[in-house]
Chain A
Amino acid sequence: MVCMLHTKEGAGILLDYCAQALNPARRAEVDRHLEHCEECRKFVVAQTELWETLDRWTPPEVSPTFDARLYARIAREEAAPGWKKWARRILQPAAPVAVWKPAVSLVAACAVLALALVVHTPDRGAQTPQVHADSVDIEQVAKTLDDLDILAPSSPM
């Protein structure tokens, strides 16, 4: 039998077992395992004791003026000028904004693009400058000149 503590999943299940977070079927499975595994049994005892120790830590009562102070702050903020409210929203977002995540993607994309340009740029030194005059269609040039004539403002008769 493989000890549950030796696998990541098994260790997580044991934690859930101690936190009473398993469904009855899963719990029964762990109970059966514990009958045969001393290492896991020791873990469960130690974790349960820790759980009970942590339960001793009760936080102090909430101050009775908490709500009043909060509503006063909200009122002050609501009375502030609009630009201040917007500045607060931008500078103090409710939840943290992971700016670095899109930044990393952008930098990675730029790096790939730069690499692609370096790899695919033809060696300019090996090429002789080419004049494309031979590829220009003379008829097309004439047509364009005609079009320009049509578009030009007509001269006074």
Chain B
Amino acid sequence: MEAVAALERDAELMLRVREGDDTSFALLLERHRAPVIHFLYRIVQNQPASEELAQEVFLRVYRSRATYEPTAKFTTWLFRIATHLALNWIRDRKKERGQESLSEELLDGVERQVPDRQPTVEQELLYAVKLREIRRAIELLPEKQRAAVMMHKYEELEYAQIAKTLGCSESAVKSLLFRAYETLRARLAHMA
């Protein structure tokens, strides 16, 4: 019930934004800023790029306020925009830099993510290595599988929402997820 209320609240807020209420836009931003940035970050694996893309997502939401109609869940629409931008970014980057797998920024990102609980150097290294393996395993997934896993595992979107976001059927989403998890289980089995 809480989830349904939250979804209705999102649509209501967006309708208020359409009427010119900028406070409602601030509330939407507050509610969805972190999930959108984290989702983008996990897909593109580059923090500055993920924030830049998230800015574009919210800018497009604001730009579309006049024509917004609550025909689907707000989060479905939001993640559809985010996925579209992220996949385009990955394709553009592939074109620019070829199929490079692990970049400097990736390793840099690992350093930034070490938790604050004063770990030993050995623990830090172990954490960094494990994290790098997880990121690499995810990075090697095909684009759609990667996006589907991020939405399913981390954003906890429903199959129907993921399907709408990716523009495919629910059954196709289930197949995508099954194949993606199968690949990840094989690649990360040694870490269990």
Contact = CB atoms under 8 A, between A and B. Distances in A.
Nearest to A89: B63
Contact of B55 (A58, A66, A92): A66
Given A12-B174, A92-B60, A62 B192 contact: no
Contacts of B131: 56-57
Contacts of B38: 59
Which size class do B's interface residues fall under?
Answer: 35 or more
B151 to A, nearest CB: 12
A47 B167 contact: no
Chain A interface main SS type: helix
Given A50-B192, A56-B130, A94-B60, A70 B29 contact: yes
A116 B153 CA distance: 51
A4 interface: no
Contacts of B167: 96, 98
A6 interface: no
A46 B130 CA distance: 17
Contacts of A88: 63
A95 interface: yes
Interface in B96-155: 109, 112-113, 115, 127, 130-131, 134-135, 152-154
Given A66-B37, A66-B54, A96-B84, A12 B59 contact: no
